[in-house]
Chains A and B, each alone.
Chain A
């Protein structure tokens, strides 16, 4: 299985995402922002960072990178895509996912070990978890407040598209404590916390994050064997 990791100028967690993909047992293909080609990958991770410095709205420029011209239709066609942090912001800017990420309500960058509850364990990226399972992975961002209008929030809740939710105090003012969501097909998932920073003992708060990548691998293998 080949999972692509996109590097935009200013991507920071691309090497970490690649490490997590390898740890889960898949091959990594590095994808370059300026390259209008997905090189035949079976899934894509949009990593964290500050693409193009994020001096404008986060992800607003990355959304126009040449690689997105091919990624957006592929995702709409069912290609599994995971957007982490800045990657989630890019997915929202690309309208692959609804809503937006705004400045944290306390107006500071915040790096903490965050407890999450997996609300939807049937997406391509969360099938290895049990619904209701609590996991602890790092959360680290300045603009992680998930917002959407009430109708959208109700629809996300009603269709089970809230994938992970913050447990305990709301760390950034996200509406309904939403930490991550999925599209209606469940192949595109975006979340603010960082599963790729919790994959090996001794580094990071836990190894709870590895199953995001293992989930995708399992889903892909299922598709192949089916």
Chain B
């Protein structure tokens, strides 16, 4: 026997072929351990007319996981379509369902953006989990044909003082930073939120935005019989096996028992991804790519089945041609591996040579592993034996759909009834001053530069605004300055009290943040983080949130272009607050005129746009001062947000604003402190006009009423600005920026006035995170 045949015999030993599956129908299969339910396994057998091979079982198990198949959420997605009008579709070039949505931002430019969760991996292995979260979303953007131009990350942790936060946070931040920095993508914003509900379930939501010319959009489909299937990038290893199924789609055990899930977390190599980005862009420019898909969750199982399912024929793949980091990997493991930094392209035979010349120039390994066939099946062989023979749609798109029971949780009535009305409020100037400082140092309002300074916000040289400004703003067209603004937001406490209104509040805030920078909101991406879908209360929260977002988007006239659902964010019976993180993208004709959030000139007149109501339920003040959560969230008025947005956009274009800052957590007090701290320009603020409108000084400073923005109007522009504010948007003059004022002076009558010097504000704001995590 020749050496080669001997090797093949060994490779085939124990491999389950389609032929075998036909003759051994009663073989016990580990469907349960792979995360499949009994009826799902029966369904697979019905589709195939036989038992699946072990390789097929592996594919179905990862592709039918909650993470990949959206089986619990899909039934509610009709709400997106029902609430999307033709006018909203006008700028939408690619919608939900592709790797990422694409919108037309004008002048022939297309922008693609998406936010995605990497929550569970980041809890198990913070650094790699967060790093590969960034890597995954960047590849999604790349696979649309775009150059990635910026990233953002929305992070949520448990109690700042809990020891596990000390374990998780530094690793996650270093992972996000290490990967994004090494890719050369500016990190232009995001969120850092602390709440006990995320203890044991930190949320790592990574957003990426990319830009391309409209004609360069690429799609994930395998068309053209005889076209080659090329796998390129990193070799396939044993990391991340079952990441989407056994890790992302199950609840962590409350007792912490059982084996660690760490091997299910992928390991990232940002250098390989950076090279892959440049290589892909060269491939696109050379027009040698007919279809492309990144390898992320579910790895080769996903890429092959989705490409084939989206195409017009079948696909044949020789799995033993896949380059391996570990030669001992079995075919099932190769199909399930979530090794990072890999892409799959469909290439016409005539262009293969040019394709391979480009990958060679970038030292990127590329291997033809199969081709598009005229059949209807995805057929995968292993040393000549067929181990997979399936209709690709049944794997990629026709997975199970569950209309799970849902119901308003019984606890909500009690929670809603328990308002902040009876909580003790500060009254005197001294009390208000102390409250402002306590809030300014609190985990959700303190300076986050300990985190954000670990991210490169300047690389690429197109960053016009970044954290701590309200939105991240980057230039897309270097000739004209045309660019985009993005913000992500969510207040999980509001969503806990009322998921419909809470989701709309998140949408309104992200919309307002983008507008505050001066951009016209254009499109939405969302990352829906929830507990277990098997809990009817969680499913109700989920349905209400989607309804809130979809109906809100319809009012605002901007479409949801894509996003991600993350269920099972709970430990034992305790779910996180519903956390529908909303990312809004806006467009500016020239980003260099964007409005920053900090005061920079003397004598700017301060105005508050929007109405302040007694809305402290679910507020940061209730949380910090009383550890209280109850009542109803602030009213959301989206029509008002649109009018407000128009004024803010016009102000940026006309150059009226020295600064503008959105009011959200912490209210006016927080905004004033931040605007003063930014450049050290002081301000003298009078609350008397608000008091005359019936708003007491405490409410004026700490209420979290939505639809409000503080603007600092440059000297001389006041009249034009005031003339542009419609009657339906209330405007209240609050005072002046003043370089003679050291810090902040707040005047609110004889008993409620106070001042805080700059050094005290700065020290208070800055000390919190370094106090926990070190310098």
| A in complex with B | yes
- Residues of chain A touching chain B, judged by Cβ–Cβ distance below 8 Å, are 9-10, 12-13, 15-16, 19, 48-50, 52-55, 106, 108-112, 138, 140, 142, 194, 196-197, 199, 201-204
Q: How far is the CB of B773 from chain A (nearest CB, A)?
A: 9
- Which residues of the partner chain B approach A50 to less than 8 Å between Cβ atoms? 181-182, 270-271, 274
Could you tell me which residues of chain B, from 558 to 604, have a CB within 8 Å of some CB in chain A?
591-594
User: Contact: A109 with B181, CB < 8 Å?
Assistant: yes
- Chain A nearest CB, measured from B109 CB (Å): 18
Whether the pair A196, B461 counts as a contact (CB closer than 8 A) is yes
CB distance from B575 to the nearest CB of A (A): 33
Decide if B271 touches A140 in the complex (CB within 8 Å).
Answer: no
Q: Which 3 A-B pairs have the closest CB atoms?
A: A53-B271, A12-B184, A202-B592
Which among A108, A111, A201 is the interface contact of B458 at CB below 8 angstroms? A111
The reply to whether A111 and B453 form a contact with Cβ atoms under 8 Å apart is: yes
Residue of A nearest to B362 (CB): A9
Residue of B nearest to A49 (CB): B184
Residues in A whose Cβ lies below 8 Å from that of B229: none
Q: Is the CB of B458 within 8 A of A197?
A: yes
> Which of A13, A19, A54 is in CB contact (< 8 Å) with B459?
A13
In-complex Cβ contact of B461 among A10, A19, A53, A109 (8 A) = A19
> Which residues of chain B (301-340) have a CB below 8 Å from chain A?
none
Map CB proximity to A onto B442-472 as digits: 1 under 8 Å, 0 otherwise: 0000000000011111111111100000000
Q: Is the CB of A140 within 8 A of B458?
A: yes
**Residues of chain A lying within 8 A (CB to CB) of residue B457:** 111
Residues of chain B in range 176-204 having any CB-CB distance to chain A below 8 Å: 177-178, 181-184
Residues of A within 8 A of B184 (CB): 12-13, 49
| B505 at the binding interface (Cβ < 8 Å) | no
How far, in Å, is A226 (CB) from chain B's closest CB? 33
Q: Which residues of B contact A108 (CB under 8 A)?
A: 174, 453-454
Residue B413, interface by CB 8 Å: no
| Interface assignment of B543: CB less than 8 Å from any CB of chain A | no
* Min C-beta distance of A210 to chain B, whole Å: 12
Question: With A9-B362, A106-B775, A203-B463 in contact, do A112 and B453 touch (Cβ < 8 Å)?
Answer: yes
Q: Return the contact of B274 from the options A10, A194, A204 (Cβ within 8 A).
A: A10
Q: Is B269 on the interface with A (CB-CB < 8 A)?
A: yes
| Closest CB in chain A relative to B122 CB, distance in Å | 18
CB pair B464–A202 under 8 Å, yes or no, is: yes
Q: How far is the CA of A19 from the CA of B475 in the complex (A)?
A: 14
Q: Which chain A residues lie closer than 8 Å to B775 at the CB level?
A: 106
- B358 adjacent to chain A (CB < 8 Å): no
Distance, CA A15 to CA B174, complexed state (A): 25
Q: Which residue of B is nearest A204, CB measured? A: B458
Known contacts A9-B363, A53-B270; is-contact A138 B458 (Cβ 8 Å): yes
Name A18's closest neighbour in chain B (CB-CB): B461
Rounded to whole angstroms, the CA-CA distance of A36 and B307 in the bound complex is: 41
CB of B275 within 8 Å of the partner chain: yes
Known: A111-B454, A203-B592. A12 touches B274 (CB 8 A): yes
Query: If A108-B454, A110-B454, A194-B458 touch, does A203 touch B464 (CB 8 Å cutoff)?
Result: yes
B453 in contact with A10 (CB, 8 Å): no
User: Shortest distance in angstroms between B658's beta carbon and chain A's nearest beta carbon?
Assistant: 15
Q: 27 A-B pairs, CB-CB below 8 angstroms?
A: A9-B275, A9-B363, A10-B182, A10-B274, A10-B275, A12-B183, A13-B184, A15-B460, A16-B460, A19-B478, A48-B459, A50-B182, A53-B270, A53-B271, A109-B174, A109-B177, A110-B453, A138-B458, A140-B181, A140-B456, A140-B459, A142-B181, A202-B464, A202-B592, A202-B593, A203-B461, A203-B463
Residues of A within 8 A of B458 (CB): 111, 138, 140, 194, 197, 204
A55 to B455, CA, bound (A): 18
Tell me the complex Cα distance, A50–B269, Å.
12
A53 adjacent to B269 (CB under 8 Å) = yes
CB A120 to nearest CB in B, in angstroms, measures 25
How far, in angstroms, from A13 to B181 measured CA to CA in the complex?
11
Contact between chains at A109 and B592 (CB < 8 Å): no
Residue of B nearest to A108 (CB): B454
Task: Output the least CB separation between A40 and chain B (Å).
Answer: 23
Closest to A197 in B: B458
Check A12–B459 contact: CB distance below 8 A.
yes
List the B residue with the shortest CB-CB distance to A105: B775
Interface string of B254-280 (1 = CB under 8 A from A): 000000000000000111101100000
Q: Which of B352-395 contact A (CB under 8 A)?
A: 362-363
Closest CB-CB distance, A81 to chain B, in whole Å? 21
Residue in B183, B269, B454, B478 whose CB lies within 8 Å of A109? B454
Chain B neighbourhood of A15, CB < 8 A: 460-461
A53 and B182 form a contact (CB under 8 A): yes
Please name 20 further chain A to chain B contacts, defined as beta carbons within 8 Å, in addition to the given A10-B182, A15-B460, A111-B457, sorted by A numbering: A12-B182, A12-B183, A12-B184, A13-B461, A16-B459, A16-B460, A50-B270, A53-B269, A53-B272, A54-B182, A55-B271, A108-B174, A108-B453, A110-B454, A140-B456, A197-B461, A202-B481, A202-B593, A202-B594, A203-B463
Question: Counting chain A CB atoms within 10 Å of each CB, which of B363, B456, B593, B774 scores highest?
Answer: B456
Q: How far is the CB of B186 from chain A (nearest CB, A)?
A: 9
Across the interface, which residues of B come within 8 angstroms of A111, CB to CB? 453-458
Docked Cα-Cα span, A55 to B268, in Å, equals: 12
A15 to B460, CA, bound (A): 7
Residues of A within 8 A of B362 (CB): 9
In the assembly, what is the distance between CA of A50 and CA of B275, in Å? 11
Q: Fill in one digit per residue for B270-297: 1 if any A CB lies within 8 Å of its CB, else 0.
A: 1110110000000000000000000000
Specify the chain A residue showing the minimal Cβ separation from B182. A50
Q: What are the residues of chain B within 8 A of A10 when measuring CB–CB?
A: 182, 271, 274-275
How many angstroms from the CA of A106 to the CA of B177 in the assembled complex?
Answer: 15
Taking CB atoms, residues of chain B closer than 8 Å to A112 are: 453
Across-interface contacts of B592 in A (CB, < 8 A): 201-203
Give Cα distance in the complex from A49 to B462, angstroms: 16
Residue of B nearest to A106 (CB): B775
Q: How far apart are B729's CB and chain A's nearest CB, in angstroms?
A: 28
Contact indicator B591/A202 (Cβ below 8 Å): yes
* CA of A138 to CA of B459, assembled, Å: 10
A9 / chain B contacts, CB cutoff of 8 Å: 271, 274-275, 362-363
* Residues of chain A contacted by B454 (CB below 8 angstroms): 108-111
CA distance A15 to B274 in the complex (A): 14
Which residues of A have CB within 8 Å of B464? Answer: 202-203
Q: How many Å from the CB of A150 to the closest CB on chain B?
A: 26
Min CB gap B766→A, angstroms = 13
Taking the nearest CB of chain A, how far is it from the CB of B171, in angstroms? 12
B475's partner among A16, A48, A201, A203 (CB-CB below 8 A) is A203
Name the A residues within 8 Å of B453 (CB-CB): 108, 110-112
Chain A residues, Cβ within 8 Å of B591: 202
B178, B459, B478 interface centre (most CB from chain A within 10 Å): B459
Residue of B nearest to A12 (CB): B184
Give the distance in Å from the alpha carbon of A199 to the alpha carbon of B454 in the complex: 23
